[in-house]
A and B are shown apart, each in its own frame.
Chain A
């Protein structure tokens, strides 16, 4: 069998059905062999978007997402997306073509050391030198990407190797990597200590991160919170770990979170951190009281414990779901009534400011996302880009029931939402669902070409573009840091006719200047089977408070 064909066979054995790629010289043998494979290739419009498609696909389906790019510029275009997946612990496998083995190291045409370039932000990577290693490497790559703390794995494959003929192909099923044995179960002694600590605490909070979602531990977290009566705060990545209409839900923490959530953190005497890394983003605006707060830190990655916060009182290395079940194996009922009363008072003291900026014309995006929550189905997936649009979607669109919220939380990569939402659509083609892609006018223009993919495949992606004619979030930071009229480079000076853009891609477009218009447009968009673009005019001075 020719190695190129073997690669596809191995991917088929990993249940890969869809890949997101872009061809080139170093991939000619693989694309030739792809014609015989059951795997569907989606031609992205810029490799930069390919890992985001794979990421959306992975987050929605729970499978590993796969992307593919040619050597040199194709591979380097993947870099941002791979780093994005790494910072959010999303399981993807990136395949890259490489120049012939005898040319490696000679600065040959389209040679770039993608293995070296991506080591800082891949969970692991391979440069294949012997085609006989392919079955093992591909099996390992999928195993590593999807187990333990998930993350991206890169496989770099020289072109001449793809053309080699292999006799006696041996597929690999079992993986045995001596240096990779993730811990799923919590240490029993630490779990026992944690239970005691939880019982004796007076003002405990659960600080839930993306790890709860990666471990699919939502049901366990809900039960744990209800059994103990402990309120739940999430990080940006943790949105969706806990239903937002639950009485114990206490909002989103961190630099862009709710003020009341940060205040609750400051009053807590115990933080039960589950699947979060206590990052700078999560702890800004609330670390003030960290000294008076004890910390139980549950994470599958031992290196996260003690990395950002020095004195973890009780470290538990393990999978969120498994450890929550272990914690619930003992009686952990407790009375938190007094604490919940205090929390009610904090909520009242720091209300959510829907009516800030209301003197401005145009759409109030907070009220808009709040209202959109009431008209979309219970299994909607919302993918938010980066910027003010992201914060408004994150804080004001309600994630309840089976809804999902995806965003680039760790790297904060603009132009994530549209390709990732398309990835969600590819993962749900058999059972189409409502998919919202929220973006800004800046991020939209950063990946406009991907509309071609959405249009070509008639994907039910409903784009909600917050058009403030500005790189809004950076503009706000300029204002907050340096004062009024210190805007610099954040004006998008050319007014694009986005309706014409939508039309060019045969996407139904709507332009709205008031909340009513926007909501009507979104209602109509939801009723369309295919892609839509709703452009929402938001005043440039509407900021996040």
Chain B
């Protein structure tokens, strides 16, 4: 089963998010991440979600989403055709011995240090899933205290648009 990234244009209405999450729970689809935000038009919101599903289930997910009256459009953000990024904050242990090494790795990944304390650092990184995963891997040995991921969001490249 593969991971797919879907982008939805929805009416900015009461209950839309509940309908969508209810649909996934009810039909047993797996959501890996979900983000919601406003768009250039106040009447609409944009939802980006990543799901793990085989081709047939993915087809059903798209059709079931399209069936919701408040959902205006569903597109798939495919690798290559779209920019897909995630924002992650990582609080990692860092003392006088390790701090500079952590900062060095962060620089390699173009992550930035957004908080410095005696025993820890908070790092911020934006990137594709694989970049974020690779970074987390590198940081792990230093002792991750906690991290938080925004979920993937994305936009199609070039002249394509979801159309509001």
B72 — which chain A residues lie within 8 A by C-beta?
178-179
Cross-chain contact B66 with A177 (CB below 8 angstroms): no
Residues in B whose Cβ lies below 8 Å from that of A179: 10-11, 68-73
In the complex, whether A25 has a CB less than 8 A from a CB of chain B is no
Chain B contact-residue range equals: 20 to 34
Nearest CB on B from A124, distance (A): 4
Q: Is the CB of A120 within 8 A of B22?
A: yes
Contacts of A302 in B (CB 8 A): 63, 66-67
A144 and B14 form a contact (CB under 8 A): no
A-B contact pairs, 21 of them (CB 8 A): A116-B18, A119-B22, A120-B22, A125-B15, A127-B14, A127-B15, A129-B14, A179-B10, A179-B69, A179-B72, A180-B69, A301-B67, A302-B63, A303-B63, A303-B64, A303-B66, A306-B56, A306-B59, A306-B60, A307-B63, A310-B56
Does any Cβ of A come within 8 Å of B19's Cβ? yes
Chain B residue at minimal CB-CB distance from A148: B67
Q: Assuming A306-B56, A306-B63, what are 17 further A-B pairs, CB within 8 angstroms?
A: A116-B15, A120-B22, A120-B26, A127-B14, A144-B69, A177-B69, A178-B11, A179-B10, A179-B68, A179-B69, A179-B70, A302-B66, A302-B67, A303-B60, A303-B64, A307-B63, A310-B56
A179 to B18, CA, bound (A): 17
Contacts of B10 in A (CB 8 A): 179
Say how far A193's CB is from chain B's closest CB, in angstroms: 19
C-alpha spacing A534/B22, complex, angstroms: 45
Chain A, residue nearest B60 (CB)? A307
Those of A192-214 within 8 Å (CB) of chain B: none
Judged by a CB distance under 8 angstroms, whether A171 is at the interface is no
Q: Which residue of B lies closest to A124 (CB)?
A: B69
Inter-chain contacts of A119 with B (CB < 8 A): 15, 18-19, 22
A283-310 contacts to B, CB under 8 A, are 301-303, 306-307, 310
Task: Render A304-332 as a binary contact track against B, CB cut-off 8 A, 1 for contact.
Answer: 00110010000000000000000000000
Look across to chain B and name the residue whose beta carbon is closest to the beta carbon of A121.
Answer: B26
Q: Is A249 an interface residue (CB 8 A)?
A: no
Question: Is the Cβ of B15 less than 8 Å from the Cβ of A115?
Answer: yes
- B16 to A, closest residue via Cβ: A179
Residues of A within 8 A of B67 (CB): 301-303
Highest count of chain B CB atoms <10 Å: which of A120, A129, A144, A178: A178
Residues of chain A within 8 A (CB-CB) of B59 are 306
Q: Which residue of A lies closest to B19 (CB)?
A: A119
Q: Select from chain B the residue with minimum beta-carbon distance to A306.
A: B59
Could you say which residues of chain A place their CB within 8 Å of the CB of B56? Answer: 306, 310
With a CB–CB cut-off of 8 A, which chain A residues contact B60? 303, 306-307
Least distance between A306 CB and chain B CB atoms (Å)? 6
Q: How long is the Cα–Cα vector from A222 to B45 in the complex, in angstroms?
A: 47
Instruction: Across the interface, name the chain B residue whose C-beta is closest to A304.
Output: B63
Report how far A123 CA is from B19 CA in the complex, Å: 11
Tell me, in angstroms, the Cα distance from A116 to B21 when the chains sit together: 12
Residues of A12-61 contacting chain B, CB below 8 A: none
CB closest chain-B residue, reference A179:
B72
A398 to chain B, nearest CB (A): 36
A177 to B71, CA, bound (A): 10
Nearest CB in chain A: distance from B20 CB, A: 10
**A112-141 near B? 1/0 per residue, CB < 8 Å:** 000110011001110101000000000000
Closest to B13 in A: A126
Query: Which residue on A lies nearest to B59, using beta carbons?
Result: A306
Complex A-B, nearest 9 residue pairs according to Cβ-Cβ distance, in ascending order: A303-B63, A179-B72, A124-B69, A180-B69, A178-B72, A302-B63, A179-B69, A179-B71, A303-B67
A70–chain B nearest beta-carbon distance, Å: 21
Min Cβ gap A182→B in Å is 10
Assembled-state Cα–Cα distance A180/B66 (Å):
9
A144 to B68: give the CA distance in the assembly, Å: 11
Q: Give the shortest distance, in Å, between A495 (CB) and chain B (any CB).
A: 42
User: Closest approach, in angstroms, between the C-beta of A311 and any C-beta of chain B?
Assistant: 9
